[in-house]
Amino acid sequence: MCIETLLEGSIVNEHQKNLALMVEKHRELIFAAERYIWAHPETGYREWMTDAYLSEAFEKLGYTLVKAGNIPGFYTDIDTGIPGPKVLILGELDALYCENHPESVDGVVHACGHNAQCAALLGVAAALKEEGALDGLCGSVRLMAVPAEELLEIEYRQKLKEQGIIKYLGGKVEFMHRGFFDGCDIAFMLHTTGTTEIPFSGLSGNNGCIAKKITYKGKAAHAGGSPHMGINALYAANLGINAANALRETFIDEEHVRFHPIITKGGDVVNTIPDECTVESFLRGKTIDSIKRNNEKINRALAGAALSMGAQVHLEDISGYAPLINDPVLLDCAEKVMIDIVGKDCVRINRGATSKGSTDMGDVSCVMPAIHPYAAGAVGLGHGANYFIRDPEKACVNAAKFYILMVYELLKDNGEQAKDILAKHDYLYPSIRAYLEETDRLNMSKDAVIYGEDGKITVDYKN
């Protein structure tokens, strides 16, 4: 049975106990943040109230913040004064749409529990200001409040891109682009989950994804009087989705490929043949290779469907999130810390399993050792109308304890453990810049059907 009280786990030394107590001391601050942010949900790149609330709380604790400025989010550094690795802890600011959630505000709600993450980040910030919190440690800690983890409102974010405000749809990638990750060595965060009551859990990683905007273009005509003069873009989109569906059995099970389109515009008025139909989707997969390979097949199907109707389709692929690979050595370290906090029976790390969802922690894992395990404390389905934070002790206080004890584990003994993780890490890219260049290459925007003057029709769907 899981023990819910604190530090009833394995044997921990006095200093570790003290660190956990430093978190407990700020329980009210943590709970207040959890409630406030729950009550003020905001979607990605619009989290101004959340940013203001957290900024004020951090500044009250004595932190100097580096603010993103034209978008929400900030970071702050705590330096031990002794050279050593830099550990990065993240909290996500954004909520998402779930209109039917009974506590949604204008349809927006923290149905992914990011409010609990922010509360935990504030908790560790408060604890790290306690006297003796940094004793025996080297290096430094960066605490970062990041916007826009949920990949939604693509059109709004595209507009921000056009205005030159952002370059990337995901907040962490945007922060990487802004240089906010430069100098960081190891990154971690906990995500709140409602799918298990086990206080701490984890997997080996997550799917990555490409965001897709698919615009079928036809020809408007009177739907009753002259439909033969039109080209029905909605029908073309239906064909495209069906053609993509017919490919599903070619997806390899182990690659966890997902294509889940929605129609965001299907026509203007009922008595006119729709001349434009817009579709959004992600193409997800376990590896970048599987994403690229299957995305190309899907694009071929979408283009072929347009051609069969004499329609056009504009294919827009936008790099989404990279697959997350939890660093195995860092995950081992995290498991030990989790057991220290709640005991062996209350921790479940399933190293053979991958989440089929996507997160921009995947992008972080491309450039440094990173992990994204889970803290319990929520109930209901993530993104669902029944998702609530039921146990803020587990969701926020345990998480903050995990953070401070991870800092201790990684930076004690002259950073021995962190240095070991860095030495063993399998870097996928030589630098953040190299990674961003690679991710840029996934972007594509083109009309996929070329109607030649000589009557010859070709399709151009490859990146």
Name the site residues for Zn ion (rule: CB under 5 A). Answer: 112
DSSP characters over 198-223: SSEEEEEEEEEEEEEEEEEE-B--BT
d(CA 382, CA 393): 19
In the complex, what is the shortest distance from the CB of residue 320 to Zn ion, in angstroms, rounded to a whole number?
Answer: 13
CB 67, min distance to Zn ion, A: 23
- In 239-346, at which residue ranges do the beta strands (DSSP E only) sit? 258-259, 262-265, 276-285, 312-321, 324-325
CA–CA separation, 188 and 359 (whole Å): 13
**Nearest distance in Å: CB 301, Zn ion:** 28
Kindly state the smallest distance separating residue 281's Cβ from Zn ion, in Å: 17
Q: How far is the CB of 149 from Zn ion (least distance, A)?
A: 6
Cα dihedral sign, 350-354-356-360: positive
Say how far apart CA 294 and CA 317 lie, in whole Å: 13
Q: Which is nearer to Zn ion, 33 or 112 (CB)?
A: 112
Closer of 211 and 411 to Zn ion (Cβ):
211
Shortest separation between residue 323's beta carbon and Zn ion, angstroms: 16
The residue among 435, 439, 442 whose CA lies nearest residue 366 is 435
DSSP 45: T
CB 370, min distance to Zn ion, A = 15
Q: How far apart are CA 281 and CA 260, in angstroms?
A: 6
* Least distance to Zn ion, CB of residue 357, Å: 7
* Nearer residue to Zn ion within complex by CB, 16 or 117: 117
What amino acid occupies position 66? V
Residue 337 tokens read as 């810390």
C-alpha–C-alpha distance, residues 264 and 83, integer Å: 52
How far, in Å, are 57, 185, 215, 321 from residue 80 at the CA level?
A: 22, 15, 53, 33
Select 180 or 321, whichever has its Cβ closest to Zn ion: 321
| Six-digit token string for 3 | 């023990």
Shorter beta-carbon distance to Zn ion: residue 304 or 384: 384
Q: H/E element holding 140?
A: strand 140-146
For Zn ion, the closer of residues 112 and 347 by Cβ is: 112
Question: Nearest CA to 321 among 165, 144, 169, 161?
Answer: 169
**152 residue type, one letter:** L
The partner residues of 140 in beta bridges, in order of sequence, read 79, 86
H/E stretch holding 352: strand 347-358
For Zn ion, the closer of residues 402 and 408 by Cβ is 402
Rg (C-alpha) for the chain, rounded Å, is: 24
Nearer to Zn ion, 88 or 361 (CB): 361
Contact 389, 113 (CB under 8 A): yes
Q: How far is the CB of 116 from Zn ion (least distance, A)?
A: 10
Taking the least distance from each CB to Zn ion, the nearer of 63 and 175 is 175
**Beta carbon of residue 375, minimum distance to Zn ion (angstroms, whole number):** 12
Between 23 and 378, name the residue whose CB sits nearer to Zn ion: 378
